[in-house]
Amino acid sequence: MKKAFPFQRDIGALRDGSFDLLVIGGGIYGAWAAYDAASRGLSVALVEKSDWGAGTSSASSKLIHGGLRYLEQYEFGLVRHALRERRTLFRIAPHLVRPLNFYLPMWKGGRVGRPMIAAGLTLYDLMAIGHQPVSRHRYFGRRQLLSDYPFVDPEGLLGAFRYGDCQEDDARVNLLVAASAQAFGAVCANRVEALSLLDDGKGRVCGAQVRDLAGDETFDLRAKVVVNAAGPWAPFLPGAAAPKVTLIKGTHLVLPAVPGCNDAFLLTAKDGRVFFVIPWYGRTLVGTTEEEVRHPSEAQPTDEETRYLLDGVRRGMPGIGWTEADVIGRFAGVRMLQAVDAESLSAVTRDFEVLNPRPGLLMHVGGKYTTARFDSQSIVDKVYAQLGSRAPAPVTQLHPLPGAPQEMFETWQSQAIAQLAQAGVDLEAARWLSQRHGTGIEAMLALIAARPALAARIHPDAPFVAAEAVHAVRAEMASTVEDVARRRMPLSLLVAGDGWRSAVTDLLRGEPGFDAS
């Protein structure tokens, strides 16, 4: 078995090799499919036209959750499935998937009454069978809720339910899953665009013509089966053979931290949609919206969506007092779901399905970040069917993701923070560094030992140190400012303005492989 890191871009191996499977798209589904296939013994190539998780997979709500709201659409199978995955992902990546409490306030005249919410949360708890990382739900009365969270609207307030789910750094998880595919022998490369599908002359797909965008070279990449995991861009590759899909944009805002609040809230907007208010890296995420779009390039936040989300927060939490001037950043992603008639976008099913639009070509629709690991097993099972072989049992649930400590995470983390602090890293940055890299902090400690200045923050307003940026270029296949400051660490999301850009560029200028332009 190879190592996950350094995560290396090997164009020569892509050009000269012939593979059982080519996976096109380096988002979370492509990464898990490549990892699952490689760990079951297939020879795999994984290519991504931009960077790992550069699309929707780094524009999620940063949650690993069952999807409480899907109970209202009677999608019980999806919720049960997601809760099982929440448990698995916490077990194999305890440094990246962390428990988080959510409060669901109840007001008189609310859209859904207290008895129905209590029944739904009881069902949510019952579906989460086995050892779970979160506690069962509880109800808190009005007085206690306002004592702890005085910013909640007191008018007509009855109380709140508290329940548990988990939080993650989506881009970071995506990167580690792709690197895990390399550890099992997959050849992986970002900045490789699939231009067209190859045909064997008998109507069967046998690979793709690809272009190395970094080296400006075009070549044929041959494989017995192709999985098109390009997310909302996937329908463009097979052309007329592509299935009909619905593209839904979701926008999030990044706002300041809510003082004294480390818990999340689930609120209802004036049109009845639910949205999250979530603490994240010392800031707050608010989202998401839902709007149907025609093309993934429309994944741009709008001022109207910003006002919609801020209005929702003001309705439920008037004591916070956020205005548009408080918005630090905003981002949007596009989900590709099944094209079906539904009374609202919220009701469009997230059910996952693997399609076979042409012989030798597979693609999926639906699904969600939380269930991508398990869903990828269905993709790889169908790859084996295309190969005419019996699929071995999947094993990704057995292997911790890179950086997962072997001991209890909290015990390990306290020791790791002490090590980092001794090396000169401030305590807040040390806490986040240990949570993002796990045992991979050894690489950061080595960089700091050789160059102590790398223990300093890149920007004073975000808890990321210079060693992380250097490590991203040297060992994590990052080559641009956006790779480093948006996906290897969410620096650009947490710091208002553009001052972080020159800090990253100056730090990395001269590093081999870094494109300062």
Residues 319 and 460 in one domain: no
Number of domains observed in the structure of the chain: 3
Provide the 3-class DSSP secondary structure of residue 355.
strand
- DSSP for 50-116 reads S-TT-SGGGSS-SEE---GGGGGGT-HHHHHHHHHHHHHHHHH-TTT-EEEEEEEEEETT-SS-HHH
Q: β-strand 18-24 against 44-48: which pairing, if any?
A: parallel
Instruction: Name the phi and psi angles at 19, rounded to 5.
Output: -125, 155
- 65 in a structural domain: no
pLDDT at 517: 82
Amino acid at 287: G
pLDDT at 515: 92
- Residues facing residue 196 across a β-bridge: 209
What is the rounded CA–CA span in Å between residue 235 and residue 61? 24
Residues 121 and 89 in one domain: yes
- pLDDT averaged over consecutive 10-residue blocks of the chain (517 residues)? 93 96 98 98 98 97 92 84 95 97 95 89 88 92 97 97 97 98 98 98 97 96 98 94 94 96 95 95 96 95 98 97 97 89 56 95 96 98 98 98 96 98 98 98 98 98 98 98 98 94 96 91
CA-wise closest residue to 137 among 159, 154, 118, 157: 118
Query: Can you give the pTM of this predicted structure?
Result: 0.96
Residues 133 and 273 in one domain: yes
- Is the Cβ–Cβ distance between 223 and 383 less than 8 Å? no
pLDDT at 349: 59
Where among 316, 341, 366 does a domain terminate?
341
What is the rounded CA–CA span in Å between residue 375 and residue 159? 37
Residues 383 and 488 in one domain: no
Where among 379, 398, 417 does a domain terminate?
398
pLDDT at 1: 76
pLDDT at 508: 98
Where among 324, 341, 358 does a domain terminate?
341
- 69 in a structural domain: no
Residues 188 and 337 in one domain: no
- 479 in a structural domain: yes
Non-local CB neighbours of 26 within 8 Å, separated by 6+ positions: 46, 47, 48, 50, 51, 52, 53, 54, 174, 178, 188, 190
- Is the Cβ–Cβ distance between 5 and 440 less than 8 Å? yes
Residues 332 and 381 in one domain: no
- Is the Cβ–Cβ distance between 167 and 278 less than 8 Å? yes
- 516 in a structural domain: no
Indicate which CATH number applies to the domain containing 287: 3.30.9.10
N residues, the chain: 517
pLDDT at 413: 98
- 63 in a structural domain: no
- 226 in a structural domain: yes
- 515 in a structural domain: no
What is the rounded CA–CA span in Å between residue 463 and residue 429? 4
Residues 225 and 160 in one domain: no
What is the rounded CA–CA span in Å between residue 120 and residue 137? 10
Question: CA angle, corner 347, sides to 139 and 68, nearest 5?
Answer: 25
Residue-number span of the structural domain to which 428 is assigned:
409-508
Tell how many helices (H) and how many strands (E) occur in the chain. Answer: 15, 18
